[in-house]
Amino acid sequence: MLVLLPPSETKAPGGDGPALAVDGLFAPELNPVREKLLDALVELSADVPASLAALGLSARQAGEVERNAELRRAPTLPALRRYTGVLYDALDVAAFTKAELARANARLAVGSALFGVLAADDRIPAYRLSGGSVLPAIGPLGSLWRPALEPALAAVHGLVVDLRSGVYANLAKVPGAVAVRVLTEDARGKRTVVSHHNKSHKGRLARALAVSRSEPGTVEAVRKVAVAAGMRVERAGDQALDVIVSG
């Protein structure tokens, strides 16, 4: 099983590992695209106003451009420690036991605008690039990633649970992946799609799947692991699950 997480705009600073080694990343067939994007971001960082415009940043976020300038020299962290924010707070990697972390490293991956897809323990620097960014030298990222990333994800063996947000899912589809929605249910039973707390509940689901001693191989098995972790999850189709939360 592979649980495909979205990245986060926010990244932990610094790192305790050596500089980025692209050849050591998951799915090395993606390296030509990775190298092209790394070169484009480093080159763009020399023009701060152009970087801010392309990345959708304000002048107060110029430090993000400095991060991109140092991409090939900066220290690294494992992907699960680099990404921060609501989903990763709920995942709570710091609380994993050694055995749980080993299972998480084998089962979790992160979709990325810069790297395509990363294994949980792939070491990366802090960077800034969103799935919807349009780089002057590249254009829309989907047109660059899709031809390389879709075959790489299609080659994954076993069940894929796709928790990516829309902009990252659009970089590459995963045929047969389990889709997950988060719905809120009010006192009358009316259900609506959750937006604000979506990431938190997907983080809880990812955590349950990561630490489970049994590895789910079917949609129903995924649902049962989530229910055992205290979540309310229902089948919503052959390859779809709904996480239901009280409104």
Which of 132, 241, 135, 223 has its CA nearest to residue 183? 241
From first CA to last CA, the distance across the chain in angstroms is 31
Q: Which two tokens stand for residue 107?
A: 């089962």
- Tell me if 5 sits within 8 A of 206, measured CB to CB: yes
Domain residues for the domain of 79 are: 2-246
Identify the helix (H) or strand (E) that includes residue 66. helix 62-69
Summary mean pLDDT of the chain: 96
Distance CA 25, CA 155 (A): 16
Q: pLDDT, tens digit, for every residue of 63-96?
A: 999 999 999 999 999 999 999 999 999 999 999 9
- Tell me if 118 sits within 8 A of 38, measured CB to CB: no
Number of domains in the chain: 1
DSSP state of 176: T
Q: pLDDT, tens digit, for every residue of 22-61?
A: 999 999 999 999 999 999 999 999 999 999 999 999 999 9
Location of structure tokens 């110029």: 62
Q: Which two tokens stand for residue 192?
A: 């609506």
Residue 209, sorted as left (phi over 0), alpha (psi -120 to 50) or beta, turns out to be alpha
- Measured torsion, CA atoms of residues 44, 50, 52, 56, in degrees rounded to the nearest 10: -100
Which of 124, 113, 123, 121 has its CA nearest to residue 37? 113
Q: pLDDT, tens digit, for every residue of 220-247?
A: 999 999 999 999 999 999 999 999 998 7
* pTM metric for this prediction: 0.95
Q: pLDDT, tens digit, for every residue of 186-210?
A: 989 899 998 778 999 999 999 999 9
Largest CA distance in the chain: 56
Residues 6 or more apart whose CB falls under 8 angstroms from that of 190 comprise none
Q: Can you tell me the mean pLDDT for 118-124?
A: 98
- Tell me if 175 sits within 8 A of 236, measured CB to CB: no
Q: pLDDT, tens digit, for every residue of 125-154?
A: 999 999 999 999 899 999 999 999 999 999
